[in-house]
Structure formats: structure tokens, C-alpha cells
Amino acid sequence: MRSGLLAVLLLMGAIARAHAVGSEPAVDPRLDPAPCLAAAAANDDDKILSACGALIDNDKTAKANRLKALLAREGVFERRNDVDHAIGDLDSVLRLDPSLADSFNARGELWRRKGERPKALQDFAAALKLDPAHAAARANFRSLALELERQGAMMAVVNKPSFNCAAARRGAEKAICASPELANLDREIDAASTRVILRAATDARAARVLRGEQEDYLAHRNAAFGRPGFDLLKAMRERLDHLLALERQ
């Protein structure tokens, strides 16, 4: 009787244990950050994409682990020159933690690579606001600000010659002002002439010769314009080619 009762109790215990095991939720291997962190430490890009991607895609992943996974995967995208996906991961990182100056700077560098300079400048500024001592962000901000300043200066003179068109009186000058191609060419000639003369500044005689050549070119251009057989565009291109050849010497 006692042996039969013991057998029944053992059977009931086994059933209870089986039921308890079956009722426990299965452990989701995607929540374990170890494979992602190991892949990142080993610089194994393919494993980073799979292991860290699993963490990123799981809604139950802890914030700290999601950040690590996103930053690891972003590094892979950047190394593979997949700029859009790298920016997307940094967008997610900064939504989770907008206090990361490094991530703002990194995203700014990616925007700059895409040619999105205003967005890049905004991210560099955000990084500096968070960390005024951030050396990389400061260098990036300064260099990009100078680049945009130069670009603005160039845009201000594009399609404009080296002289004031409002004061143009000669036929050649009026023709140059009426043509963006000729206007840009005239400005390039003037800049190249200035460079070669400045380079020869230590030799007064050579500098005088170069200034005389430029004056002779302008006088011939103005006098010959409108005459049969004179090609203004050809004459200007030849002058620029000559000056550029002098610069290369």
C-alpha cells in the first residue's frame, strides 16, 4: 500500500515538473549580447551583421545592448561604404541617447561624405555643444566652415569676369560680360596671371616682363575683337594655356 502510494506520488511529481518546464517561456537567444560583442571584438563583419542585427531587431533588447549593437553594425556599414545605412544606424543611436557627441561627429562625417554639408555642419556643432573639448568635431567644424565660406565666395563670382561689367566700354569686354563661358575664362586668366607675377616677385625684371605680356594680351584682345578671322574664345583659351604652362615650370 505504501509502495503503491509512493509510486503515485512520484508519478504526480514527474507530471508537475514536466508541466512546469513546459509552461516556462523559451529563452530568446537573440537577447544574449555575447555573440554580438564577440563578433565586434574580432572585427568579423559578417557575424556582426547577423548577431548584432538580431539584437537590434528584437524589441526586448536592453537599451545598452541595442546601442552597442547599433554602433557595431554602423561600423560595418561605414567600412563597406554603405553610407545611407550607416547614417540610419546613427539616427537610431541618437534617438536612444542624444547625449553622444562621438555619434553626432561620426554622423556629420558621413553627411559630409554624401555632400550634405549643411547637415554635416549641424552635427559637428551639436557634438561641440555636448563636448566643447571634442577635438575631432572642432577640426571638422572649422574645416567645413572654411569650405562653405570658400564655396560661397566662388558662387559670388561665378559667371562674372575679372572686371566690372557696368564699366565695360570696349566691344571685347561687352562680349565677355554677355557670355558666362567667356566671363569665367577671363577670371581664370586674370587669376593665373596674378599668380605667375607674384611667383616672380623676387625677380623684378621677370615680373615686369610678365606684367607686360598680360598688358599686351589685353591690348591685342581689345584691338582685334570684331576683325575678320579673330576668335575671342580661342585667343582667351590660348592665353590661359600659356599661363598655366608657366605655372607648371
**Which CATH number is 120's domain given?**
1.25.40.10
- For residue 7, what pLDDT is reported? 44
Res 180 pLDDT > 60: yes
Instruction: Check: CB of residue 105 under 8 Å from CB of residue 137.
Output: yes
143 and 222, same structural domain?
Answer: no
- Read off φ and ψ for residue 38, nearest 5 degrees: -65, -40
Give the Cα separation of 206 and 94 in Å (integer).
60
Candidate from 18-22, 127-131, 139-143, 156-160 with smallest mean pLDDT: 18-22
Residue 121, in any domain of the structure: yes
DSSP code at position 166:
G
148 and 108, same structural domain?
Answer: yes
Last residue of one domain, picked from the residues 156, 188, 210: 156
Give the Cα separation of 148 and 197 in Å (integer).
29
pLDDT in tens, 182-216: 999 998 898 888 888 888 878 888 889 999 999 99
Give the Cα separation of 71 and 91 in Å (integer).
11
Res 60 pLDDT > 60: yes
Residue 185, in any domain of the structure: yes
Give the Cα separation of 2 and 22 in Å (integer).
30
Residue 10, in any domain of the structure: no
Is the whole-model pTM more than 0.75?
no
Cβ neighbourhood burial of 202 (10 Å; 0-12, 13-18, 19+): exposed
Instruction: Check: CB of residue 239 under 8 Å from CB of residue 216.
Output: no
170 and 103, same structural domain?
Answer: no
35 and 143, same structural domain?
Answer: yes
- For residue 223, what pLDDT is reported? 96
Last residue of one domain, picked from the residues 156, 181, 215: 156
Return the amino acid letter for 190. D
134 and 185, same structural domain?
Answer: no
- For residue 61, what pLDDT is reported? 94
Last residue of one domain, picked from the residues 156, 180, 205: 156
Domain hosting residue 95, numbered range? 30-156
Rg of the chain on CA atoms, in Å: 35
Helix segments in 63-116, DSSP class H = 63-79, 83-96, 101-114
Residue 134, in any domain of the structure: yes
Candidate from 144-153, 161-170, 210-219, 221-230 with smallest mean pLDDT: 144-153
Task: Return the higher-pLDDT residue of 148 and 215.
Answer: 215
Percentage of the chain lying above the pLDDT 70 cut: 86
Residues 245, 247, 248, 249, CA torsion sign: positive
203 and 135, same structural domain?
Answer: no
- For residue 156, what pLDDT is reported? 66
138 and 63, same structural domain?
Answer: yes
User: Within the chain, how many helices (H) and strands (E) appear?
Assistant: 13, 0
Instruction: Check: CB of residue 110 under 8 Å from CB of residue 133.
Output: no
Residue 143, in any domain of the structure: yes
Mean pLDDT along residues 119-135: 90
209 and 123, same structural domain?
Answer: no
pLDDT in tens, 111-121: 999 988 889 98
Res 219 pLDDT > 60: yes
Mean pLDDT along residues 6-18: 44
Mean pLDDT along residues 223-240: 96
Mean pLDDT along residues 78-88: 95
170 and 143, same structural domain?
Answer: no
56 and 143, same structural domain?
Answer: yes
89 and 181, same structural domain?
Answer: no
Residue 193, in any domain of the structure: yes
DSSP code at position 225:
T
Which one, of 65, 108, 61, 66, lies nearest residue 86 by Cα?
108
Average pLDDT, the chain: 85
Residue 54, in any domain of the structure: yes
Mean pLDDT along residues 147-169: 79
User: In Å, how far from its chain's centre is CA 18?
Assistant: 59
104 and 198, same structural domain?
Answer: no
Mean pLDDT along residues 27-54: 87
Write down the residue that cell numbers 549593437 correspond to: 69
The set of cell numbers assigned to 105 is 561627429
Residue 71, in any domain of the structure: yes
